[in-house]
Chain A
Amino acid sequence: MSATEKFDVVVVGSGFGGAITAYHLAAGGASVLVLERGPWLTGDDFDHDFKLGSSYTRIFDFTVGDGMSVLAGNCVGGGSVVYFATMPRAPGFVFERHGSIGRRMWPAAIDRAALDPWYDRVSEALPVTPQAWHDVPYAGGLFAAACAHAGRTANPVPSAIDKPKCTNCNWMMAGCKFDAKRSLLLNYLPAAVANGAEIRPLHEVQRLTRTADGGYRVHFNLVDGTDYRVSSPGGTVEAKLVVLAAGAGATPVILQRSAAALGTMPDAVGRYFSGNGERLNTAVINDERAREVLGLDRGDGQAYRAHQIGKGPCVASWDKLDPRLPEYSRFSLEQLYFPPGLGTILAQVPGATGPSWFGREKKDMLREWQSWLTIFAMTEDDNEGVFGPPPATGNAERIAQQMLGRGALSYRPTANTRRGWAQSDADVKDILERDGIARVAPWSNDLVGAYTVHPLSSCRIGDDPATSALDDRHELRGHPGIFVTDGSAVPGALTVNPALTIAALAERAVPGLVRAARQRGVDVTYGAPSPSAAPTAAVASHG
């Protein structure tokens, strides 16, 4: 039997929190292993297909909880492979939020000005670029026109999309076949590999234990490449330093399961989960009114009827991101696309007289699917989510062979959160029902509870040990050498899409990680160039 493999650093997860730290540590000279529970797919592997077993179900997880369902990436590259690449910075007031704890949630060391240089760094690497109006698909244009008609502003949102390569196919959740979406598969990950990091897909980390020399042993299962319900014990690897970046739905579960061996976890591990205050409304646009009221014309006789066309959310209205408004009443509204399947079942029929989410009237609403416009609100929730005892393996009891599982997260929205949702619903209605442009209804929360595509805060940074699991360098309190750099480290809802903030925080955490590694005798330096200057040939498929 071979000796246990040893690395300077083991990174758990390969989304923003894992890829960015893996790149810098590898480029600085550390031996780095990345363990990713999902498969490794690249451009050619991504399908334009809803068929079960296509990339759409292989790389994407829908984890049902009690009161909150989480949609997240499950592949090398994590959320960056399935996301819509909408990359605004978080507004300044977000960093001053008190949330449920009666004091500033964010560490004193971090505010918008302090994070801006790290935002710059990620924006250069991916890259993130502004969008012009001629980049904005019909759906975003329609939302902008409706906002203007209601006396509101609306912005094309910066994105990590290579516009000339984009075909506006709206298959982004299945992975980008054209390499137009600047996922981590095109920058940090190949740069990490080029610098010696090793990525092992279908390795699902279960728990951590200590080694005799003060390091960590990382225990993983091997997951079947087709049926994720099937896994087998995989073994262990050892590391001087562990970076947990398995996502806000999984990182706290690994730590909960590790408590038996590592000792008590900080109270905030698996608590304070935020769904980023997310809420969806579906509008059915009256094409005639869109033409008459908004003056829209596609040039082919239609004003809109373009729900299928585009590249996710491209236009947002930021009028309610006003720092003078009280906490829990600030939100952004963003035009969004969700594909059929998961994107239709929860949409409710505006003004339904019978059941609102199935039946005759729902079928009639589906008939108008090309006239749908989905509006995404990101509000300030109350960090209500709490993880129960971990399942046997992973972070969910998997129901289907891919995509669908049941997790241990429970979420009971407070009056603050519900009020924020109601205010954003009313705002969407005010903008889109004006002068008969559309009929609008929010998605149902009665069936799978609330839902989020941006899970956050389940293992968060902060200055208060009672309400934060990590210090402001992202190190787990009481467990030196374990760092958390994914969305779970973000203290609370951001009122905008969080990917750029998660990435900026990971970049910011790297100097501290390098120092911690050096203290453990690792010969590693900080200061690698942006991966945009490093080799970025797509890594070979390991699907």
Chain B
Amino acid sequence: MDDGRPVDPVPTQTLEAFADTIIPGVRRFPGDRAISGVAAEDGAVAAGALAVLADPALGLADALNGMAGLLNMHAGDYARKHDVRLDTTVPAFVSLSFEERTALVQDLTDPQHPEREVWFGAALFCTMAFDSAPHLSTSDALAQGHPGLALLGFAAPEADGLWRFPRFSYERPLADPHPDTTPTGSPA
């Protein structure tokens, strides 16, 4: 951070591991524990999930440390229930395998789970970071090769930053209209 304070690695790693469970990515460096490395190209973390989660405009920023703690508590419960041995040198959720993280996120977002809204909200913001990059101007994100927009194949704008598709139609009739269509083009 700019002010030189150390960034607490526990919530950061934990939330990165959560984001990587939503849209998995490739490890950033050897020994990267937060990212489980099940995908061959960048995922939600590289797309900016932590920046989106922490964006004051979205209302979760103040809750993130608490959410990370809660997630690690759930991971501990999960480990006990499923006889998973945790590596205590990393946060409990980070210690889980990708499959275990996935199973836990499925539990936490189940319609019956009391915290479903919290974890769905976090998953929504991680997904948005990947597929729409709401922390960046979309034109800039595309110019920077944002991994999510690139994976979607989201087309780039014209030079003025606006989207136009001059060719957009097959330009021929492709079905018969309903026989009861009225002269205004509406159903009868």
Contacts and interface: CB of A to CB of B under 8 A. Distances in A.
A230 interface: no
Residue of B43, B117, B157 with most chain A CB atoms under a 10 A cut-off: B117
Contacts of B139: 48-49
Residue of A341, A362, A369, A402 with most chain B CB atoms under a 10 A cut-off: A341
Given A321-B187, A354-B102, A51 B135 contact: yes
Given A51-B138, A141-B174, A308-B155, A339 B132 contact: yes
A134 interface: yes
Contacts of B70: none
A225 interface: no
A400 B57 contact: yes
A401 B59 contact: yes
A404 B59 CA distance: 9
Contacts of A145: 174-175
Interface string B153-164: 111010001111
Contacts of B55: 52
A344 B58 CA distance: 18
Interface string A82-103: 0000001111100000000000
B1 interface: no
A50 B138 contact: yes
Contact of B179 (A153, A340, A367): A153
B9 interface: no
B57 A360 contact: no
Given A355-B106, A362-B23, A363-B24, A64 B175 contact: no
Given A48-B157, A148-B174, A169 B165 contact: yes
**Interface residues of A, dominant DSSP:** loop
Contacts of A131: 185
B123 A310 contact: no
Contacts of A88: 185-187
Given A158-B185, A309-B165, A332-B187, A153 B178 contact: yes
Given A153-B175, A154-B175, A167-B165, A51 B188 contact: no
A267 interface: no
Contacts of A168: 164-165, 168
Contacts of A399: 58-59, 121
Contacts of A48: 138-139, 157, 161-163
Interface in A273-315: 296-300, 305-306, 308-310, 315
A400 B162 contact: no
Contacts of A130: 184-185
Contact of B170 (A141, A157, A354, A358): A141
A154 B174 CA distance: 8
Contacts of A534: none
A89 B182 contact: yes
B160 to A, nearest CB: 10
A429 interface: no
Interface string A412-435: 000000000000000000000000
A315 B169 CA distance: 12
A145 B161 CA distance: 33
Given A51-B136, A64-B117, A296-B170, A370 B153 contact: yes
Given A155-B185, A157-B185, A49 B163 contact: no
A53 interface: yes
A451 interface: no
Contact of A358 (B23, B136, B173, B188): B23
25 contacts: A52-B135, A88-B185, A89-B187, A130-B185, A133-B173, A134-B171, A154-B175, A156-B185, A158-B186, A169-B163, A169-B164, A171-B163, A308-B165, A309-B165, A309-B168, A340-B131, A341-B127, A345-B124, A359-B22, A360-B38, A369-B153, A370-B153, A399-B121, A404-B59, A496-B187
Interface of B: 21-24, 38-39, 43, 55-59, 102, 105-106, 109-111, 116-117, 120-121, 123-124, 127-128, 130-139, 148-149, 151-155, 157, 161-182, 184-188
